[in-house]
């Protein structure tokens, strides 16, 4: 079940050049800045109330974020909802025939995550996430096998 909007993802060319607006002008507090090498992105997380804006900068040329930037330019990329059980929600969506990018959950910046296919939601890219400490309580042995 979805419990809140965890973040909105914005694709930018360079995080260093985006922070003057999002952090310094809009006043959102930057609380995490990291390079996620396996995903080929640099990410900055900025708090707004109990939600976040996530700035994403591709550091390789062959991932989804880089292709999005190439094709559409900078802009609003996705919305991520927090789930109280991402495995169950993914299984439910698959059972209903919702088209998914991720057939199994994986570890992302926001915790255990999966992406819906944009076709499933008429063009909007949706991510579900569950923070890892919460996830570990439900799945102490790690992620279930794909079914």
Partner 1 sequence: MADLTLDHVVIAVKDLDGATADYVNILGRNPSWRGEHPKYGTKNTLFRIDNTYVELLALSGAKGDKRWSGVLQKTLEEKGEGVFALAIGTTDIKRAVEEFRDGGLDVADPADGHGVDVNTGAERGWRNAQVDPKHTNGLRIFFIQHLAPPEALPVAEPVTDGAHVRRMDHAVVLSADMEAARRVWSDKIGARLALDRTFPDRNTRILFYRLADITIEISGGAAQSKEGIGKPDRPWGLAWGVESIEKTCERLQAAGVETSGPRPGIKPGTLVATIKGEATHGVATLLIEHQPESFTEAARVAHSGAIDNTEQQRAFTPTALDHVSVTTSDLPGTAAKWATALGLSAVETSEHDDSRIAKIPAHNSYIALTQPLSSGGAIAAAMAERGQGMHAVAIAVDNIDEAVRDMRLKGVEISDPVAGREPGTRVASIAKASANGVPVVLVQRS
Please report, as ranges, the residues that interact with partner 1 according to CB under 8 A.
1-5, 8, 10-13, 16, 18, 21-34, 48-53, 55, 72-79, 81, 93, 96, 98, 116, 118, 120-126
We find the least distance from the C-beta atom of residue 138 to partner 1, in angstroms, to be 18
Shorter beta-carbon distance to partner 1: residue 99 or 106: 99
How far apart are CB 47 and partner 1 at their closest, in Å?
9
Sequence-distant (≥ 6) Cβ neighbours of residue 92 within 8 angstroms:
none
Instruction: Classify strands 2-11 and 111-115 as parallel, antiparallel or unpaired.
Output: unpaired
SS3 66: helix
Give residue for tokens 């923070």.
Answer: 131
- In angstroms, rounded to a whole number, what is the distance separating the alpha carbons of residues 12 and 118? 20
Closer CB to partner 1, residue 84 or residue 144?
84
**Phi then psi dihedrals of residue 95, to 5 deg:** -65, -30
User: CB-wise, 50 or 145, nearer to partner 1?
Assistant: 50
Residue closer to partner 1, measured from CB, 82 or 135: 82
**Which of 89, 109, 139, 87 lies closest to 35, judged by CA?**
109
CB 42 to partner 1: min, Å = 9
């Amino acid at each position: 079940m979805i419990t809140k909007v965890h973040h909105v993802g914005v694709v930018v060319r360079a995080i260093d050049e985006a922070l003057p607006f999002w952090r310094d002008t809009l006043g959102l507090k930057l609380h995490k800045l990291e390079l996620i090498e396996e995903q080929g992105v640099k990410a900055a997380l900025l708090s707004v109330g109990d939600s976040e804006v996530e700035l994403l900068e591709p550091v390789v040329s062959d991932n989804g974020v880089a292709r999005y930037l190439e094709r559409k330019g900078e802009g609003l990329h996705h919305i991520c909802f927090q789930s109280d059980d991402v495995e169950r929600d993914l299984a439910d969506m698959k059972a209903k025939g919702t088209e998914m990018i991720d057939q199994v959950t994986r570890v992302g910046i926001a915790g255990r995550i999966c992406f819906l296919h944009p076709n499933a939601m008429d063009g909007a890219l949706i991510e579900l996430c569950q923070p890892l400490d919460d996830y570990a309580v439900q799945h102490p042995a790690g992620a279930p096998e794909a079914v």
